Chains A and B, each alone.
Chain A
Amino acid sequence: MTAMIRSMKDLPSMHLLGAGTAMCAGCGGLEAIHQIYDLIGGKTVFVNAAGCMTLLSTYPFTPFRGGWIYTSMASAPAGAQGVRDALDILLRKQRIARDEDMTAVVLAGDGASFGMGLSATSAAIERGLDFLYLCYDNEGYGNTGQQTSGATPHAACTSTDSGERGYRGWKKDLFAIWAAHRPAYAATVIGADPVDLAKKIERALSLKGPRLIHALAPCPTGWDFEPQDAIEIGRLAIRSGMFPLKEYVGGAVVHTRVPHPRVPVEDYLRRQGRFAHLFAPRRNDRLLAEIQAQVDAYWRGVA
């Protein structure tokens, strides 16, 4: 399938996701989903895991043009399995016309994707389920007040890691976990780079099987910054190298943006209140150096 999105001019001007949802002003997750929905459209069934986006549809309001179902925190991929298998049965047994088919799309936050839902996710990939998996990653359990999750980055302050060193662990590598399963496709995206995102959605749509779209979701509420800075912070996440934009396809990992020169991680971190403790009352040079070193090490490993 020839790519349709080559530059900004090719992005859709018709926006399909409805307005009026309860997401915070400037939500980076909604940013990504709204761009993705423009491309995947309403012939989809969104199978949702518990998280911020569960509140997209609250009775009687829904922003979707197609399907949606809330399952639980841990089992959205299993819900997608049920939907996909049932549609396949209905098609095979000719109980529905071909044009009634829909794509199963898991919509999950990092809480479910990096933690509770990993078992169901792993098994769904293993079974070769034909589905899209959208993870909006705001690096914490956002809906409950930004507690530490499997996606929380090193030294970030959360409501369960509130000390001056923040979270002592390191962000789990979801992309590598997916890649180890050898899925049909996996990609990292961000709403701040819509053309890169659109190209990856197009590629994902041209393939069948388990396909991950992992979107970093800058979160004004959880990361503590002004909503209007959401895109700028997203761009800094990319330019500092902290969130690599890459894809796994055909068994190989390809970086679609290689920031060069890389902006110091500090420029990204100091814009967010969740890292304020690294700068005041005293600079924490050690932690800043640790974070920078990890990013440097990552990009050294990229050809």
Chain B
Amino acid sequence: MERGVITRPDLVVVADETLVPIPAAGVLQGLSERTVLLLGSAERRETWQDRLKVPGPVLALPVSAQSGDHGVLAQIGASCAGAAARLLGVIRRESLARALQEEIAKFGSAAVAANLECALAAFDAMAPHAGLVAASAEIGAGDYRAPEWVDLPLEEAAVAAPDIHGALTSELAITGTWRTHMPVIDYERCNRCSWICSTFCPDSAIKVAADHTPRIDLDHCKGCLVCVAVCPPHAIRAVPEREAAREHSR
């Protein structure tokens, strides 16, 4: 039985596939050949299996089209819940519907209906894999692998205190993965005003070169799209990240 930190999952449900390549998210940690990995994704399960090479089964849950301009995954939570319920094999369709109604009721009947539709569709779509997830056995007390306990050495205060000796280490954090839309500058329209987009970018992710050309730092741009909103000649447009990634990889 695990509590708090799940180190040996039987089922991993990934609602947002863009988290997979981020080390800090730890999506692939602790996966064994028993673990079922369910990804909300438009890509096929075989593509993911090839890409990730995890030991256990990989399933893809087709996500509904990204609604609006903002890359919102509509009712993704409900879809995941429905799919997971079928994979576990111990939750009946009616129980799922009832639980969802209780949970979403406070958001109104339209929300309940939309979420119910997604959850039940996912539940039904997972029929071929019903009950695929089974509880794994506990780690035996007989021949477990011993933890590698160490004795912490006393270290000097300057390193043993939570201090960062230096500047700008935040640049190592790649916040560009946050984006659902990428701002793209049309340099024919750009007036080289030298200040507007880079001043208004809250994250210092737009740098202006000596020749007044702005460059967006894609490692750090979070896709807030403030620059798109403020550019007077509308020289910056927002491109859905998926599309932009495809353009870049060509």
Which residues of A are at the interface with B, using a C-beta cutoff of 8 A?
Answer: 8-9, 11, 13, 15-23, 25-28, 30-31, 34-35, 42, 56-57, 59-66, 191, 194, 220, 226-232
Please tell me if the beta carbons of A65 and B168 are within 8 angstroms of each other in the complex. yes
Assess A20 versus B164: contact at CB under 8 Å? Given A13-B208, A15-B204, A232-B229.
Answer: no
State the CA gap A77–B170 with chains docked (Å).
26
A191 cross-chain contacts in B, Cβ below 8 A: 200, 202
Please tell me if the beta carbons of B200 and A15 are within 8 angstroms of each other in the complex. no
Please tell me if the beta carbons of B172 and A27 are within 8 angstroms of each other in the complex. no
User: Does B239 reach chain A (CB closer than 8 Å)?
Assistant: no
Please tell me if the beta carbons of A21 and B168 are within 8 angstroms of each other in the complex. no
- Picked from A15, A61, A65, A231, the residue with its CB within 8 Å of the CB of B172 is A61
Query: Could you give, for residues 77-99 of chain B, a 1 whenever the CB lies within 8 Å of some chain A CB and a 0 otherwise?
Result: 00000000000000000000000
Nearest neighbor of A230 in chain B, beta-carbon distance: B226
A65 cross-chain contacts in B, Cβ below 8 A: 167-168
Please tell me if the beta carbons of B200 and A228 are within 8 angstroms of each other in the complex. no
A19 cross-chain contacts in B, Cβ below 8 A: 170-171, 175, 203-205, 217, 219-220
State the CA gap A9–B195 with chains docked (Å).
7
- Determine how close the nearest CB of chain A comes to the CB of B116; give it in whole angstroms: 23
Query: Could you give, for residues 186-212 of chain B, a 1 whenever the CB lies within 8 Å of some chain A CB and a 0 otherwise?
Result: 000000011110111111110110000
| A-B residue pairs, 5 tightest by C-beta | A228-B225, A19-B220, A26-B224, A25-B224, A20-B173
Assess A231 versus B200: contact at CB under 8 Å? Given A19-B170, A62-B167.
Answer: yes
User: Does B52 reach chain A (CB closer than 8 Å)?
Assistant: no
B195 cross-chain contacts in A, Cβ below 8 A: 8-9, 11, 13
B172 cross-chain contacts in A, Cβ below 8 A: 20, 61
Interface size on B, residues (CB 8 A): 40
- Determine how close the nearest CB of chain A comes to the CB of B245; give it in whole angstroms: 18
A56 cross-chain contacts in B, Cβ below 8 A: 170
B204 cross-chain contacts in A, Cβ below 8 A: 15-19, 34, 63
User: Does B48 reach chain A (CB closer than 8 Å)?
Assistant: no
Assess A15 versus B198: contact at CB under 8 Å? Given A63-B170, A228-B225.
Answer: yes
Within 8 A of A (CB), among B152-195: 162, 164, 166-175, 178, 193-195
Assess A228 versus B224: contact at CB under 8 Å? Given A15-B198, A30-B202, A61-B164.
Answer: yes
State the CA gap A35–B195 with chains docked (Å).
11
State the CA gap A27–B202 with chains docked (Å).
7
- Picked from B194, B200, B225, the residue with its CB within 8 Å of the CB of A9 is B194
A230 cross-chain contacts in B, Cβ below 8 A: 202, 224, 226
User: Does B37 reach chain A (CB closer than 8 Å)?
Assistant: no
- Determine how close the nearest CB of chain B comes to the CB of A224; give it in whole angstroms: 13
- Picked from A31, A61, A62, A232, the residue with its CB within 8 Å of the CB of B202 is A31
User: Does B70 reach chain A (CB closer than 8 Å)?
Assistant: yes
Please tell me if the beta carbons of A26 and B226 are within 8 angstroms of each other in the complex. yes
User: Does B38 reach chain A (CB closer than 8 Å)?
Assistant: no
Nearest neighbor of A38 in chain B, beta-carbon distance: B199
A16 cross-chain contacts in B, Cβ below 8 A: 204
State the CA gap A30–B217 with chains docked (Å).
17
A15 cross-chain contacts in B, Cβ below 8 A: 198, 201, 204, 207
Assess A231 versus B230: contact at CB under 8 Å? Given A13-B208, A64-B167.
Answer: yes
